Amino acid sequence: MIQELKNNYGHLFENDLLTEINQVGTFKEVPEGFKMINIGEYVKSMPLLISGAIKILREDNDGDELLLYFLEKGDTCAMTLTCCLGQTKSEIKAIVETDAKLIMIPIQKMEEWSAKYKSWRNFVFESYHNRLNEMLDTIDSIAFLKMDERLLKYLNEKARVSEDGIIKNTHQEIAYELHTSRVVISRLLKKLENLGEIKLHRNYITLVK
Amino acid sequence: MIQELKNNYGHLFENDLLTEINQVGTFKEVPEGFKMINIGEYVKSMPLLISGAIKILREDNDGDELLLYFLEKGDTCAMTLTCCLGQTKSEIKAIVETDAKLIMIPIQKMEEWSAKYKSWRNFVFESYHNRLNEMLDTIDSIAFLKMDERLLKYLNEKARVSEDGIIKNTHQEIAYELHTSRVVISRLLKKLENLGEIKLHRNYITLVK
DNA sequence: AAAATTATGTAACCCTTGTTACACTTGTTA
DNA sequence: TAACAAGTGTAACAAGGGTTACATAATTTT
């Protein structure tokens, strides 16, 4: 496992820190669809992503959900960071989007490493920075874009994190993640297909370009 | 100035750190309406808020804006934090909402203090945590609420940060911050007045309760 | 005080999105 | 293979909110 750690985080962390991570971290493989954490749950460890993707969702009291962003290789979960420190409940739901490999770090190490390693502090700050920017991007989408633009942006992101570039979702699933209805999505998808932007199939969609 | 620092941050920071802040920080009073930073500008120092409020806005390419949240006493700007480290441009606009007193810290100190003081690290993490939660709250509003609910929530927040509980804005100003049109706001405000929730006046609004 | 400016009220209309309903197709199960 | 379930296409309609237009009221300027 030290190899995958080195490959993905070797350029970020000094050797002492890599050794420590190797000692206390546990390697995990999680399959697509696995629910990493739900809203209201407490966090007990912090993930470093090696491969695959994790989608982060927000949910309101009625169970309506909204896709916030994806975590990918080299990312960690900023929400986890804040939850660890404050010992507060998770504000988001995290589900594995494509089969993922990750290293789980016990949360006690966070504070210790923040004092000890400059590279760790930078990583944590960098992570917060990325997450804040992704949240801003999400806000831009829902505040400033119309549904067809949001949908196209969504499809591009989905394709990006999926390795083979194919969006393997039903219209209903897309509707949930964009917080709208299936009929609206079907309608707009058909429009995008007529514009030559995408190709529709049963259970999957491909981008044309 | 050491007194105002002690009053507002004494419980957060150890004495050594307070002394350092007092040495390198510069005290500032900024009037309502003052633009602290614009999108695309570089950040040169970091504010610690003593009193007053600062509103943080997002803006798209067409100049359309959207209120994200308010900073108040004891807060700092998480965006500034990230900008300092990455030497990147600001992603947001910050305007003084009610006359504010603040202490400006040169950004070079950030890294130094993060290594040296645990209380500083906690303050920075805590700050990120709060900002992420406020962003989530903003996302909830625009994704899950209808305009009349958003408006009422907006009015309550405005009243909270305004000391005297009076919302001193025109319908047009409210429309800008919620990214909608003046006519829509006038229409909904009248509805809220008829429901007995608010009282409308020229240039200001009061909450009923 | 007349004129101009700013703020608000409101009607009429349109577009986007959400809802309901139902047909059709594809895949799965009995 | 018949029955069922799941996914998609589409029409018709409703509702929310954005736009245009104009009237009136309050305030400031000349």
Cβ contact B142–A138 (<8 Å): no
For B11-22, write each residue's pLDDT tens digit.
999 999 999 999
Q: Which residue has the higher pLDDT, B186 or B131?
A: B186
Cβ contact B58–A143 (<8 Å): yes
Tell me: pLDDT of B172 over 70.
yes
Which nucleotide minimizes the distance between its C1' and the CA of B188?
D17
Closest residue of chain B to A56, computed from CA coordinates: B136
Question: What pLDDT is attached to residue B74?
Answer: 87
Which nucleotides of chain D are near protein (any atom < 7 Å from a CB)?
Answer: 6-12, 16-21, 26-27
Residue A206, CB, strand D, below 7 Å: no
Question: What pLDDT is attached to residue B85?
Answer: 63
Closest residue of chain B to A115, computed from CA coordinates: B115
Question: What pLDDT is attached to residue A81?
Answer: 72
Q: Average pLDDT of chain B?
A: 93
Cβ contact A135–B140 (<8 Å): no
Question: What pLDDT is attached to residue A172?
Answer: 98
B112 Rama sector, left if φ>0, alpha if ψ -120 to 50, beta otherwise: alpha
Beta strands in chain B (DSSP E): 26-30, 35-37, 45-59, 65-71, 93-106, 166-167, 198-201, 204-207
Question: What pLDDT is attached to residue B1?
Answer: 60
Q: Which residue has the higher pLDDT, A197 or B126?
A: A197
Q: Could you tell me the CA-to-CA distances from B189 to A89, B122, B157, B180, B199 in Å, in that order?
A: 36, 42, 16, 13, 9
Residue A88, CB, strand D, below 7 Å: no
State the nearest Cα–Cα gap between A143 and chain B, in angstroms. 7
Backbone φ and ψ for A54, nearest 5 degrees, come out as -125, 130
Question: What pLDDT is attached to residue A175?
Answer: 98
For A14-30, write each residue's pLDDT tens digit.
999 999 999 999 999 99
In which band, very low, low, confident or very high, does the pLDDT at A88 lie, cut at 50, 70 and 90? confident
Amino acid letter, residue A36 = M
Residues of A in contact with B129 (CB under 8 A): 82, 85-86
Residue A153, CB, strand D, below 7 Å: no
In which band, very low, low, confident or very high, does the pLDDT at B180 lie, cut at 50, 70 and 90? very high
Tell me: pLDDT of B207 over 90.
yes
Give residues with Cβ within 8 angstroms of A126, minimum separation 6. Answer: B85, B86
The upper half-sphere exposure of residue B7, i.e. CA atoms within 13 Å in the direction of its Cβ, equals 10
Cβ contact A142–B139 (<8 Å): yes
Average pLDDT for B79-97: 81
Cβ contact A82–B129 (<8 Å): yes
Tell me: pLDDT of A45 over 90.
no
Residues of A in contact with B179 (CB under 8 A): 143-144
Is B163 an interface residue toward A (CB < 8 Å)?
no
Question: What pLDDT is attached to residue B163?
Answer: 86
A-B contacts at Cβ under 8 angstroms:
102
Distance, C-alpha B197 to centroid of its chain: 25
Is A23 an interface residue toward B (CB < 8 Å)?
no
Q: Which of A31-35, A91-95, B126-130, B132-136 has the lowest mean pLDDT?
A: B126-130
Q: Which residue has the higher pLDDT, A87 or A101?
A: A101
Cβ contact B136–A85 (<8 Å): no
Cβ contact A91–B133 (<8 Å): yes
R_g of chain B computed on alpha carbons: 18
Question: What pLDDT is attached to residue A1?
Answer: 60
Angle between the N-to-C axes of helices B15-24 and B108-116, in degrees from 0 to 180, rounded to the nearest 10: 170
Q: Average pLDDT of chain A?
A: 93
Tell me: pLDDT of B178 over 90.
yes
Average pLDDT for B118-133: 90
Tell me: pLDDT of B50 over 80.
yes
B184 CA, D18 C1': Å apart: 8
Q: Which of A11-25, A70-84, B93-107 has the lowest mean pLDDT?
A: A70-84
Which nucleotides of chain C are near protein (any atom < 7 Å from a CB)?
Answer: 6-12, 16-21, 26-27
Residues of A in contact with B124 (CB under 8 A): 125
In which band, very low, low, confident or very high, does the pLDDT at A75 lie, cut at 50, 70 and 90? confident
Tell me: pLDDT of B86 over 90.
no
Residue matched to tokens 């020229």: B202
What distance in Å separates the CA atoms of residue A139 and residue A149, rounded to the nearest whole number? 14
Mutate to test the interface with A, among B119, B144, B177 (most CBs of A within 10 A): B144
Question: Which structural domains are found in chain A, ordered by start?
Answer: 2-142 (2.60.120.10), 146-207 (1.10.10.10)
In which band, very low, low, confident or very high, does the pLDDT at B84 lie, cut at 50, 70 and 90? low
Average pLDDT for A86-100: 90
In which band, very low, low, confident or very high, does the pLDDT at A83 lie, cut at 50, 70 and 90? low
Q: Which of A92-96, A126-130, B162-166 has the lowest mean pLDDT?
A: A126-130
Instruction: Output the pTM of the full model.
Output: 0.94
Q: Decide: B15 and B93 in contact? Cβ < 8 Å.
A: no
Question: What pLDDT is attached to residue A86?
Answer: 66
Other beta carbons within 10 Å of A17: 19
Question: What pLDDT is attached to residue B78?
Answer: 76
Q: Which residue has the higher pLDDT, B67 or A122?
A: B67
Average pLDDT for A137-160: 98
Q: Which residue has the higher pLDDT, B113 or B129?
A: B113
Residue matched to tokens 């804006």: B65
Residue among B66, B118, B132 minimizing CB distance to A82: B132
Question: What pLDDT is attached to residue A163?
Answer: 85
| Coil, strand or helix at A202 | coil
